[in-house]
A = this chain, B = another copy of it.
Amino acid sequence: MKNYFSSPFKLGVLGGGQLGRMLLAETQKFDVYTAILDKSLEAPCAKKCDEFHQGDLLDFDTVYNFGKKVDLLTIEIENVNIDALDKLEKEGLTIYPKPSNLRVIQNKASQKKFYKDNNIPTADFNHYAYLEELKHSYENDIIDFPLVWKAARFGYDGNGVKVVRTIDDLESLPAGECITESLIPFKNELAVIVARNTNGESTTYPVVEMEFHPEANQVEYVICPARINDTVAKKAQEIAIKVADAFDFVGLLAVEMFQTENDEILVNEVAPRTHNSGHYSIEASYTNQFEQHVRSILNLPLGNTESKVAGIMVNLVGAEGYTGNVFYENLEDILRIDGVTPHIYGKKTTKPFRKMGHVTIVHEDVNKAREIAQQVKETVKVISK
């Protein structure tokens, strides 16, 4: 096996946001030389990596030229130029996750089709090349409200997802390619992170439960372990592994799922990378998701995904009504509480609902952790000054 540790080996990462920043803590631990490409000199990773390159992740030449400088390429965001990755891969560069997987996942229509083709349970959907096609279907009574509209590409953190209840809602949507699903009543939104290395070894993290902000459609609390019964948890993990196996995936795959009223599990979507739903693992797990990502793409043995204690993550997002230089109000107050750890991502300016950091709450008792999480949420405010 190649010795990555303290060798001239260079890992390249597309994207320099908070996920990259937390990944860097792990590549530092393993002493893996890490180069990062991001469009902004003020990206959270810019000053934290061994080598920073500024450039557009969607530009062919930029991604291609960056790829030529590294020994192994990975991503921290999936919206990157896949054509460049295809060419790099053909020329012999190892890229995890694989470009072919990213291509399927980058487009929600092809992602949904992939689930259907592989007998992975997911909500039925319709696919439209343009919004006009969707309007046409509605006008011809082929579909009806309410429905869930999703942009086929470049959705992120709930952007690109809308519940459509009226013709006005429909009129306000962007014009491009999209899918629709019927609005399924569900009990819980769950997620399972699967790690899979090139040997095909895979591990799953415990099932987590996600509580969403009702308006912004962003995760507010991620709770590990999910407060669901063992049968449902086992089913969710099995489906997550089935998805990863179907992709022949290498790296970390976060599988988001709905638990329906009658305890069916439906795959909602996947993220082919470290994920917000796994941030709790830094404090709670034997092996955190960022270390596990490093292990999986370097084809090292995968670590233990069990938790030492229960963990809950609260996102720190910009408060409504504040745009400008960020100020974390009352952060000191939450540091007084046992088991509370803030992670500040180092973004200089806040705006409403921008992810600025997160706080992890760990406790032996998940219900106690949930109480503290509420208290944390009500105490800290991300404002501008």
- Decide if the interface of chain A is mainly helix, strand, loop or mixed: loop
Interface residue count on the A side (C-beta < 8 Å): 44
Q: How far is the CA of A308 from the CA of B326 in the complex (A)?
A: 33
Q: Is A301 an interface residue (CB 8 A)?
A: yes
Q: Which of A149-157, A158-166, A331-339 lies at the interface with chain B?
A: A331-339
Known: A304-B339, A335-B303. A5 touches B344 (CB 8 A): yes
Known: A342-B29, A344-B30, A345-B31. A332 touches B301 (CB 8 A): yes
Q: How far is the CA of A3 from the CA of B328 in the complex (A)?
A: 8
Interface residues of A (CB under 8 A from B): 1, 3, 5-6, 21, 24-25, 28-31, 47-48, 50, 286-287, 291, 295, 300-301, 303-304, 308-309, 325-328, 331-332, 335-336, 338-339, 341-348, 357, 362
In order of increasing CB-CB distance, the 6 nearest A-B pairs are A31-B344, A304-B338, A308-B308, A301-B336, A301-B335, A31-B346
A selection of 28 A-B contacts at a CB cut-off of 8 Å is: A3-B331, A5-B331, A5-B344, A6-B326, A6-B327, A6-B344, A6-B348, A21-B28, A25-B25, A25-B28, A25-B29, A29-B344, A30-B342, A31-B344, A31-B357, A47-B50, A48-B48, A286-B339, A286-B362, A287-B341, A291-B341, A300-B332, A301-B332, A301-B335, A303-B338, A304-B338, A308-B309, A308-B362
